[in-house]
A and B are shown apart, each in its own frame.
Chain A
Amino acid sequence: MKDQILIVAGGEDKVATRLGIALEKRGRPIIRLDGPSAARIFSLRVLPNSTVVVPNLPMFVRASAWAHTRTARDGDEHFLWAEAYATFWAAAALSRAPVINRPTPSGPAGQFTSTAIAAALGMSGVPGPEVHASGPEMITDPTAETWGENVHLQSGPVALLPQKVPLRARKVNQDSLYEIVTVVGLRAFPATMDPRTMELRLVSRSVLIARKLKLDFATITWSIDPAGATAIRVHATPQEAEIQYTWNETANALCEELTQ
């Protein structure tokens, strides 16, 4: 397994596929496994003064690794799935090799508490208060500017979303412009060449947010209006569409982080 890099992702994860190709072009062999299969290659030994994880492999971890495996037919199968999930969580959290994105003691990277988000965004403008509700009918006084995203990942003005489907919602400025900054380690790559990105220091602010949330790889979406810029989304498992404009820089940076 010398020099190998483990990509832990679902079979249809395009970002994982493209990164695998980029790593192989650089001469680094990859192993690509879904979450349960990855969990089964690790042994963790808690010793009197330390914990040892073998094999010691750099890892690129995607949420997709578990998404399509959670189809347990019965309680026993669900238990085995949970045992594998718990093992991989520990292996990735405790490995001494580079891990993107490394899980935290609270769970997978990108699973933030609202306190953590507030702390991270405190320096970068906090978006308007968010409401979590059982359906659009529970949002009081929605306006055309109240947008939501429901559990079916449908988003739009709250009034147009289906009733009785849980959602999160907040006010948005429909006249805002948007910038997406991809962060890899201490580097960050904006999707546009708009001068406001530089003026508003969105690159350095994005890196700060990712650091605060302990993310090595993330996209930060900014809403920009005459009053300034507000970080409105932090995505720890960015999809191909979010990073396509910065793919070359992003892939180079990811490869360097994983092979350092």
Chain B
Amino acid sequence: MIVAIGLAVDETLMRFVECAAESDIAVRVVDLAELVIGDWRFELSAEESAELRYAGKIVNLHSADSFFCRIIDLSSEHFFAPHARRWQALTAALGYWLDIVPSRVANRCDRCAHNSSKPLHETILQKMGFDIPESLTSCARTELVKFVHAGPAISKAICGVRADCITVEEGDFEDFEPANGPVHLQRQISGADARIHVVGGDLIAQKVVSGNIDYRRGSALDHMEVFTPPPSLRDQLVTATRDLGLAFAGWDFKIEPSGKYWCLEANPMPGYLPYDLRCGGAISRALVAYLST
């Protein structure tokens, strides 16, 4: 049995469920929004069982199940403290439990958590052998201006939340106050955008040439094409994904016209729906196959 854990309103989660159904693979959906107002018990013991009671049903999870997880802690959305604490307690308990089940999990909760701290994430990926664009994270106006002066730069969120990636110029920092920071600047790389999903030992790569700073804005996603990365990169990605403790990752690259690959990040919980729609469901199928094995 595959158990899909997340929010029922999450289209990526439901895409996975639909794909599994098309392959006649049984999937049980655990909607965290329902569960958080229900009851749960996670045993961190040799049996590793869990009992969930919500929406009028009792669901037992077993360590022999495999798990597709898109676990989102919505505690910050709740200003009423008891609700926030329930979210925190539930997601923490789930994380501990998924950490010890011996079966396949895509992905266990804290793996590649450093994606939420971009300078740390970039440093770790660099140590794994990837070429990373130079970056600066700072509140120091003079440093920020100097970085932008030295070459084209973009600004992106440090903490990993999805936010617009924008180009920046020196004048953008004229009225900058440290209280408005910190800011993460990265050297702008020209070339194609690539998203490479790795599922276990499988790899689905797509790329697009777009004039946009953030290719996800506008219609560039509609023009993504499946491609085959160089064998050395393929091997490197499969190894790196495993070394990060991930079964599933969405890697972002810029590909220079010279063919050089610049690694931007490894997403431990990629919202892969738009990419899956444009490759005939190959990502979902790879995930279902991985978790059914």
Contacts and interface: CB of A to CB of B under 8 A. Distances in A.
A43 B100 contact: no
B157 to A, nearest CB: 7
A187 B283 CA distance: 51
Contact of B122 (A46, A49, A106, A135): A46
A14 to B, nearest CB: 24
Contacts of A67: none
A43 B96 contact: no
A175 to B, nearest CB: 23
A47 B137 CA distance: 12
Contact of A130 (B44, B85, B88, B181): B44
Nearest to B137: A44
A44 B136 contact: yes
Contact of A40 (B38, B39, B41, B178): B178
Given A134-B38, A139-B41, A43 B138 contact: yes
Interface string A45-56: 111110100000
Interface string B112-126: 011011111011101
B87 to A, nearest CB: 10
A84 interface: yes
A245 interface: no
A192 B206 CA distance: 62
A225 interface: no
Interface in B170-217: 178-182, 184
A51 B143 CA distance: 15
B42 interface: yes
Interface stretch (B60-68, B158-166, B247-255): B158-166
Give the size category of B's interface with A: 35 or more
Interface of A: 39-49, 51, 72, 78-80, 82-87, 89-91, 93-94, 105-107, 111, 113-115, 118, 129-135, 137-140, 151-152, 166-168
A168 B161 CA distance: 30
Given A44-B119, A46-B123, A79-B161, A134 B41 contact: yes
Contacts of B92: 132
A134 B119 contact: no
B76 A131 contact: no
Contacts, number: 157
A54 to B, nearest CB: 9
Contact of B120 (A39, A105, A114): A105
Given A114-B96, A129-B44, A135 B85 contact: no
A88 B65 CA distance: 38
Given A90-B137, A129-B44, A151-B85, 16 more contacts: A40-B139, A43-B136, A43-B143, A44-B136, A44-B138, A46-B119, A82-B159, A86-B160, A87-B117, A87-B137, A90-B117, A90-B120, A105-B114, A106-B113, A113-B96, A132-B93
Closest 3 CB pairs of A and B: A129-B45, A166-B89, A132-B93
5 contacts: A118-B100, A132-B44, A132-B92, A138-B41, A138-B53
Contacts of B184: 83
B51 A138 contact: yes
B99 interface: yes
Given A43-B138, A82-B161, A114-B44, A105 B124 contact: yes
Contacts of B11: none
Interface in B72-117: 76, 85-86, 88-90, 92-93, 95-97, 99-100, 110, 113-114, 116-117
B206 to A, nearest CB: 26
A166 B119 contact: no
B167 interface: no
A94 B161 CA distance: 22
Contacts of A39: 182
A46 B113 contact: no
Contact of B123 (A51, A137, A168): A51
Contact of B117 (A43, A80, A86, A111): A86
